[in-house]
Structure 1
Amino acid sequence: MYIHPLQEESFEILGGKLGLLVNGGKIELRPGESYVLLRNTIHTFYNAGDTPFTTRTVFRPFLHMDWLTSEMILGKA
């Protein structure tokens, strides 16, 4: 579980099925559906289907996400 104190995060599902755990509740999204997490929302996500999911994720404001994403790819975050 994690939180973004200065950003909102939105998910638009392009393929597969995305599961979100949000403030203790469970949400499942399918292609064409979207969801916006407001700042300070405790959350995590997972694959809720049998195939990989594809999502367009947007952070507003963007802030440090380019650095964090590169650290995650390199296995440092």
Structure 2
Amino acid sequence: MNNNDVIENLLTGERLTVIESAGNGSDDFIYEYACLPRTPTAPEHLHPIAEESFEVVQGVMTCRINGIERTFTAGEKAIIPPGTPHTGWNSGTGELILRAKISPGMNFEQYYRTIFYLSKQNKTNEHGVPGLLHLAAISFNMKNQTFYPKYIFLQKLYINLAGPVGNWLGYKADYK
């Protein structure tokens, strides 16, 4: 993956600029993320082994971190420890720009590239999320990276059963 690559989700209006790819001499994935107001919000999720941090460069972001809502403006930062449920959204009236880091970066860049590619191909819903079988195939190949906060055991079971089926049916986890 190349630093300074810009990937866009034309469906949701999200834009991600890769600053540093995990594996290019670093374990971290550092990127700039931009979105407009009313961009679909990622559902509440957690990363079992990755720490996520961000600084608001421009705009206003509201986050729910471990059940507590807080609003961040330009210059403010947050660190989300591994295993902490969180979500965030553009709560301002203009573009939101974040500088973010996920450590370790694992396959997060690959995940964004895949999801954004699928939305360009009209293979996601209006929120930019692929169907359950395709999502299972993606998640199976990106082991233990992201889960919804409840019923993690059942999610792992579904991913480990449905993921290989999705792969066998041709659902890919990596689109370059």
State the TM-score, normalized to the length of structure 1. 0.92
CA displacement at 1:72 relative to structure 2: 2.1
In structure 2, distance between residues paired with 1:12 and 1:73: 23
CA displacement at 1:12 relative to structure 2: 0.7
The alignment status of 1:36 with 2:79, answered yes or no, reads yes
Q: Greater relative contact order: 1 or 2 (C-alpha under 8 angstroms, separation 6 or more)? A: 1
The alignment status of 1:50 with 2:93, answered yes or no, reads yes
Which structure has greater strand proportion?
A: 1
In structure 2, distance between residues paired with 1:4 and 1:53: 23
State the TM-score, normalized to the length of structure 2. 0.42
- Structure number with greater Rg is 2
CA displacement at 1:48 relative to structure 2: 1.3
In structure 1, distance between residues paired with 2:113 and 2:88: 19
Count of residue correspondences: 77
Q: Which residue of 1 aligns with 2:70?
A: 27
The alignment status of 1:16 with 2:59, answered yes or no, reads yes
Q: Which residue of 2 aligns with 1:66?
A: 109
Q: Structure 1 runs of 4+ off > 3 angstroms?
A: none
The percentage of aligned residue pairs carrying the same residue is 25
Q: Which runs of 5+ in 1 are unaligned?
A: none
Alignment root-mean-square deviation, CA: 1.1
Which structure has greater helix proportion?
A: 2
